């Protein structure tokens, strides 16, 4: 990340294995061919179907293969700004780390993730009440 910004979303009432599933789906709506990497193991997933959401808690989602290669070559270089989203699942929340939350794709992705997870969290709480 190049001076990343954190967006924290409450997911304490959302089934844990679904949280990053929703996050990746929302990102995929904007970046149709992302490369997803497990932050803990470095395992890379080229296809959504292969991501083991029950087993991961930290994902790096690159815009596409070019972005992935560029990050590998240059790391957190300004040239790579806004081409990767880091999603970290905690006990009660998920944190999205983005370079610039005001950038249009980032803003739209963050909003979509919030609009997807916040109602699920609310409904989950209602169901458990």
Partner 1 sequence: MTADEQQREAVIQILREVNLDSIFTPPTMKAVLFDRMEKFAAVYAKKVRGVPPGVLPASASLRDILAEHARNAHRVYMLLEAIAFQCSPEILVMAWMVLLGARIERVEYKYVREDSSALAVTLQLSDLTTEVTFQSSEHWDAAALRFLALSKANDQPMIEGFHYLWIPPRKLWNHDFYVETAQGSFGAADIAPTASPTPRWEIQQLFTNLPARDIGSVSVHVHGNPVFAHRGSEVNRPTLELAWNSLLRKYGDASMNQRPRREG
Choose between 95 and 116: whose C-beta lies nearer to partner 1: 116
Cα distance between residue 63 and residue 68, in whole Å = 7
Choose between 56 and 80: whose C-beta lies nearer to partner 1: 56
**Residue 8 near residue 90, CB atoms below 8 Å:** no
* Residues of this chain that bind partner 1 (CB under 8 A): 11-18, 21-22, 25-26, 28-29, 32-33, 47-49, 51-55, 108, 111-112, 115-116, 119-120, 124-125, 127-128
Cα distance between residue 23 and residue 104, in whole Å = 17
**Residue 21 near residue 116, CB atoms below 8 Å:** no
Q: How far is the CB of 57 from partner 1 (least distance, A)?
A: 14
């Amino acid at each position: 990340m190049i001076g990343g910004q954190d967006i924290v979303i409450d997911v304490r009432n959302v089934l844990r294995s679904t949280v990053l599933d929703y996050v990746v789906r929302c990102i995929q709506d904007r970046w149709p061919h992302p490369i997803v990497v497990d932050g803990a193991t470095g395992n890379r997933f080229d296809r959504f179907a292969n991501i083991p959401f029950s087993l991961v808690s930290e994902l790096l989602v690159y815009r596409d293969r070019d972005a992935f290669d560029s990050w590998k070559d240059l790391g957190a270089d300004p040239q790579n700004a806004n081409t990767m989203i880091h999603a970290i699942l905690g006990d009660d929340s998920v944190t999205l780390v983005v370079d610039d939350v005001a950038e249009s794709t980032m803003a739209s992705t963050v909003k979509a993730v919030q609009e997807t997870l916040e109602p699920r969290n609310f409904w989950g709480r209602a169901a458990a009440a």
